[in-house]
Chain A
Amino acid sequence: MKPQDLTDLALRNLREAILRNALTTLGVAVGVASLVAMLSLGVGLQQMASKRLSQSGLFDTIFVTPKNSFRGMGRPRPQAESDKPVRPLDEDARYELGKLPNVIEVYPQVRFYTEVRFNDKPYATVVAGMPESSRNSGAFDGMQGNYFSSSTANEAILQIEFAKELSEKTASLVGQELTLRYAERQALPAASRDASNGGNESSGGFSVVPKELRLKIVGIVETEPAAGYGGIGNARVLMPLETASTLRAAQVNDLRDIVRGNNSAKITYGSLSVRAKSPSQVEALETSIKNLGFNAFSLLDASKSLQTFFKVFDSLLGIFGSLALAVATLGIVNTLVMAILERRREIGVLKALGAADSDVQQLFFVEAGVMGFLGGLFGVAFGWLLGRVITIGTNIYLERQNLNPIELSSVPWWLVIAGLIFAVLVSLAAGLYPASRAAKLNPVDALRYE
């Protein structure tokens, strides 16, 4: 039979026992819905987690420190390394790192502990400079207010916990000003330097001068990007990196430089962050940075194990979701076997009129396939709806707890297609036995059947 006639006859047969077939199809739909809903939750959680992680800049950023960094303190260093001259992390090094392939940006960590005055009250906190690339990293999505108007603006974005300390109505803070008090590091004039350390040129030194800067609050953000990574605690006041750099605020590594006797006029960095184009390039980049003579560190391995975790998590959800579909499959087998009994005589007539065994087999097969397809279609829709309901329910709860809403479930297009194909394949498999049983009916017996 031609496919069009086959489908036509199959649909006609399905309509003849509309209630039974609709119930069977509903069973498939429920099965597919549970599968899709489970997987959509898995996918949603995974997307949420990887979005948070990519926003944090943890997986495309390499943290570079000089080999003599304090980070190595307390760990015995290999003898061979300590003998080599240590390469400082200075402007030349920053330029060289920027020239490496697949590097988007190299920026220093500007992070200092200081005091902020708001409404004449002092607050102690950590201030961090944000590189320009963080504007589009997604870390500031959903923030109150706006991102910095320019990379040199005297503006600040507050972390929400800090904003709550300043005012109960955090939204009203946007547009107001706060005063940043910090210690500026100033190079000593050559004469005084000579005087202070007995003409020893190699011994550096600087004076620290208290300064103030007024910053306009432009926004409030949930969490600080790159919080706790390579820094000294969470920064709660964020400002443009360039603005922060020009302050020449005294930082932790400055003291180290003094002790080590570095020339104070020449800036060295305690650490530099190198942002790669994508996490996949991090590994190669890390190796080339190490070859330049620096320490390099990234969290790529953590990301890999996270992916493995989600694969296992998704398969577990998939297995539980499939259970309902397995039950629905039995429903298809049952329905079609019943249909054979009912349509026994009809099968005999079809055979007497010249239907081959394969025609009868295909007819039952198409009926199973149609039930699977329709069930899949409704199931994907139900599953999506179920995911939405769970998301909405969760968000109502989160809202009551004063937390930000999340996208708990996600139904990407591949899940829709896969759900449909899976439903049809499983239904066809369920149709195998009834179809072959119908095809093997002896036409003489079938015609005699009343």
Chain B
Amino acid sequence: MAEAQPAVQLDHISRHYIMGETSVRAVDDVSLSVLSGEFLALLGSSGSGKSTLLNLMAGLDRPTSGAIVSNGRNLATLSQLELARYRRNTIGMIFQSFNLLPRMTLEENVELPLRLAEVDRSERAGRVSEALERVRLTHRLGHRPAELSGGEQQRVAIARALVNRPKILLADEPTGNLDSSTGEAILSLLRELQKQLGMTIVMVTHERPLAEHCADRLATMGDGKLLGVSPATRGTVQ
């Protein structure tokens, strides 16, 4: 990697939950650098702590201990309002279940982050269509999410994540609800965005072959700990 500047720097991060009388270490002392412009896949089985780590990087959750530095600021010390601003301006997120608002049209769903960021109304239509063009969705924009296929819905979700032009895209099992060919198409779209826009992408997945195919590096987690980080082999997906 030519750019060694980390987009997110995790420094001895732990996240413990208290469940009843036992303490669950969802993330246990993880240190990791996510380099600017790289596509990092977070691999691990269910319950390995990869989603918790992603939420910490997204500023949706706070670590029990350790520091998460992004944009030169430690997320662990930011106020609730500053974290919201960080999520709004620096982070784009996509989810396994798309999480589009069912009563809103595609365009309105994509426009939502612009409303939260208080972008001028005059500017919004242009930004929305730009984002939708990037995910190659230019028709049925007045439809509701339920009227679209899973792949299309995920592309709308990606457009929504891109519309505020974030530096970092965090994806939580983005292909989990899609068939393999649609999943592949979504991943190549993510790869394309990474190249075109110079975005940093962190993707949580449990499908190693997919990760090998599209990511630059793979970080593997187990029982809340980071087991290892390795460059992807870039083999073809069967």
Contact = CB atoms under 8 A, between A and B. Distances in A.
B93 interface: yes
B112 A353 contact: yes
Contacts of B99: 345, 348-349, 352, 447
Given A354-B89, A355-B84, A444 B60 contact: yes
B58 interface: yes
Interface in B62-119: 80-81, 84-85, 87-89, 91, 93, 95, 99, 101, 103-104, 112-113, 115-118
A350 interface: yes
B139 to A, nearest CB: 24
Interface in B113-131: 113, 115-118, 121
Interface in A349-403: 349-359
Interface of A: 1-2, 4-5, 9, 12, 16, 345-346, 348-359, 443-444, 447
B36 interface: no
B147 to A, nearest CB: 17
Interface of A is mostly: helix
B29 interface: no
B55 interface: yes
Contacts of A356: 80-81, 84-85
Given A351-B84, A353-B93, A354-B87, A1 B61 contact: no
Contacts of A355: 84, 88, 116
Interface string B185-206: 0000000000000000000000
Contact of B113 (A348, A354, A358, A447): A354
B9 interface: no
B196 to A, nearest CB: 22
A9 B113 CA distance: 13
Interface residues of B, number: 27
12 contacts: A1-B115, A2-B118, A4-B121, A345-B99, A346-B101, A352-B87, A353-B88, A353-B93, A353-B112, A354-B113, A354-B164, A447-B60
Contact of A349 (B89, B101, B118): B101
A137 B168 CA distance: 81
A370 to B, nearest CB: 17
Contact of B160 (A4, A348, A353, A444): A353
A9 B112 CA distance: 10
Given A1-B116, A2-B118, A350-B112, 9 more contacts: A349-B99, A351-B84, A354-B85, A354-B113, A354-B164, A355-B116, A356-B80, A356-B81, A358-B81
A354 B115 CA distance: 10
Interface of B: 55, 58, 60-61, 80-81, 84-85, 87-89, 91, 93, 95, 99, 101, 103-104, 112-113, 115-118, 121, 160, 164
Given A346-B101, A357-B84, A352 B60 contact: yes
A1 B118 contact: yes
A354 B116 contact: yes
A350 B55 contact: no
Contacts of B121: 4
B118 A352 contact: no
Nearest to B61: A444
A354 B80 contact: no
B60 to A, nearest CB: 5
A43 B112 CA distance: 49
A351 B58 CA distance: 11
A186 to B, nearest CB: 93
A12 B103 contact: yes
Given A2-B118, A345-B99, A444-B55, A357 B80 contact: yes
Nearest to B115: A5
Contacts of B101: 346, 349
Contacts of A348: 99
Contacts of A353: 87-88, 93, 112-113, 116, 160
Nearest to B163: A353
Contacts of B60: 351-352, 443-444, 447
A348 B100 CA distance: 11
